[in-house]
Amino acid sequence: MNIDKIQWLEQRNPLLSSFVNHTTAYDISNRNEKKVNAIVHSIEQIYYTRNIKLAVGNHQGVTLTVHNYICSPSEQVECPIGHVQCAIDNNQKLGKSSGRIMVGSKMPVDICISISNFQISESTIQKDETLMPCEWLTNDFSELVDQVNAYELKYLDTFRSYRNNIITEYLAETKIDQKVDICGAQYDKIDIASKQNQMGFKNSVCTKCNFMYPSKDDKCAECKHDHKFYPLDFDPYRRTPSKHPPKPPVVTVGEPCMVNPCNEKNIRIVLDHIRNTCNIPEERKWVVVWSDGIPYLFAMRLQQHLYACSSCDNIVDTRTETPQDHVKKQNHPIDSVLKKYFGDFVFRPGPGHIELNMAKTLLHFSWPVLSSIVQLLGFRTKKAQDVVKRGANHHRSKQILFTFFDSVLKELLVLFIRNAPQNISASSFHEWVRDSVKSPSVLYLYDLCTTFLLSFKMYNGVVRKNHHKI
């Protein structure tokens, strides 16, 4: 690896570098190569001494130490050829503090941006300059309004078809559960369980055969069904067809970047780092970068406002200086071209991060009704409910929203089956709500369930099944 020693020294701990410089009487302006090599070697030996006792793992007599890893020969991590997409994620590790944490105290923090390269194919699509974002990206979004409306109308039909299919499936399940007593009244396992609870009996009703058995038993005594677990071959996303490629993409770990992407300055460092590791523009002209929400917003802001001047190679920020003012101020020719500095990147937010934000929004939006269900699920104290409302644990939030969706939709379908005419279908269910239901609470639950919660459930499934067209 070719390392610039002066730049390497500038990136070390300034307190450590200052100590070594003063101890060895080293003058920064002195670029004597022999002296510089000695200073670099001295600082490296200090780091070597500090890390010599660190060890990671000890399994079956095999010990891998950080010392061996640092001292082992390494090569530059190469980006794969062909069509490549990159994904970045920030990793932070907070070290232990010596003593009490007080105002002004400091704690060691390890920061690293991990980069993964996904080789989609070996095609040369990323060598096509006409597909670079700087060639088609515009800041005038007025002309895109009609295209967005047409796009939404197209996928609104897809959503309605998915909604009718899932309502039809739930209708069939709910209709089978309905029984008629000797007086002609309809009931199901929920009515049986409620009656049992009112009478003080601690029995459970099997969700498969409606048989009553003691709640202390894990399995139904009649059909041996265990209501706590799904079968091993159960697919919760079975309603969405899989679009995973027959051959998964080749994933390689890219060269990490040692900054925290918490501001625009560091995001510029990360993007320049990706540009170098992905060999832009030699190997490819552009690349797709996936990230979390905050880095995505910073990157989009930089792409919108930073331009590279063709005459002076300076970076122009349109938030402080317009391109026309820059050309006039620097006395450039009138035909000077300013292109987007990050016009060779396509930024995409991670689908999982979008799903996380959807879950948090739905928790707040549906909390007036959801709060009572959350209590039934065991979150009884105010502190526990606040944790659920904040959506701190995404997997728990997802399961709560799915439970809420299933229970509300099935209750609405029970009302429909018991009050609707003989023609029972998904379309007649929508007509019944539109023409016969007058209760604001039922209408609110219908819109919440069949629009917002169902959209979240649908998005969750298509992400897992890689069905991006839905």
Tens of pLDDT, residue by residue over 415-457, are 898 887 677 888 889 989 888 888 999 999 999 999 999 999 9
CA distance 195 to 205: 11
Angle at 76 between CA 72 and CA 134, to 5 degrees: 155
Neighbours of 8 (CB within 10 A): 13
Neighbours of 354 (CB within 10 A): 13
CA distance 458 to 470: 8
Looking at 349-393, list the stretches that DSSP marks H as alpha helix, in order from N- to C-terminal side.
Answer: 351-365, 367-376, 382-390
CA distance 140 to 277: 32
CA atoms within 13 A on the CB side of 4: 4
| Residue 402 domain flag | yes
Chain-centre distance for alpha carbon 157: 26
At residue 84, the pLDDT reads: 92
Chain-centre distance for alpha carbon 32: 50
Average pLDDT over residues 51-71: 50
**For residue 223, which phi and psi values (nearest 5 degrees)?**
-110, 0
Q: Considering only CA atoms, which of 215, 241, 240 is closest in space to residue 227? A: 215
For the cut 80, the answer to whether the pLDDT of residue 361 exceeds it is: yes
**Domain containing 43: what range?**
5-71
Residue 30, class by beta-carbon neighbours within 10 Å (0-12 exposed, 13-18 middle, 19+ buried)? exposed
| Residue 325 domain flag | no
DSSP state of 226: B
Higher pLDDT, 105 or 269: 269
Neighbours of 408 (CB within 10 A): 20
Which of 30, 47, 71 delimits the end of a domain? 71
Which of 18, 45, 71 delimits the end of a domain? 71
At residue 345, the pLDDT reads: 93
Neighbours of 57 (CB within 10 A): 8
Hey, which bits of 243-368 come out as E strands?
Answer: 250-253, 287-291, 306-309, 315-317, 338-340, 345-349
Higher pLDDT, 103 or 27: 27
CA distance 47 to 375: 53
Which of 71, 94, 117 delimits the end of a domain? 71
pTM of the model: 0.70
Kindly give, in sequence order, each residue whose CB lies less than 8 Å from that of residue 464, ignoring residues fewer than 6 positions away: 237, 240
For the cut 50, the answer to whether the pLDDT of residue 372 exceeds it is: yes
| Residue 403 domain flag | yes
Decide: 273 and 71 in contact? Cβ < 8 Å: no
pLDDT digits (tens, 9 = 90+) for 127-172: 988 888 887 776 566 666 677 777 777 778 888 888 888 899 888 8
CA distance 51 to 69: 11
| Residue 385 domain flag | yes
Q: Considering only CA atoms, which of 275, 290, 304 is closest in space to residue 468? A: 290
| Residue 219 domain flag | no
One-letter amino acid at 313 equals D
Decide: 462 and 372 in contact? Cβ < 8 Å: no
CA distance 206 to 307: 65
pLDDT bucket at 467, cuts 50 / 70 / 90: confident
Q: Considering only CA atoms, which of 358, 244, 248, 212 is closest in space to residue 293? A: 358
| Residue 39 domain flag | yes
| Residue 331 domain flag | no
Number of structural domains (the chain) is: 2
For the cut 50, the answer to whether the pLDDT of residue 55 exceeds it is: no
Average pLDDT over residues 365-394: 89
At residue 222, the pLDDT reads: 78
CA atoms within 13 A on the CB side of 393: 9
Q: Which two tokens stand for residue 343?
A: 């016009």
| Residue 356 domain flag | yes
Enumerate helices (H) and strands (E) in the chain, giving the number of each. 17, 14
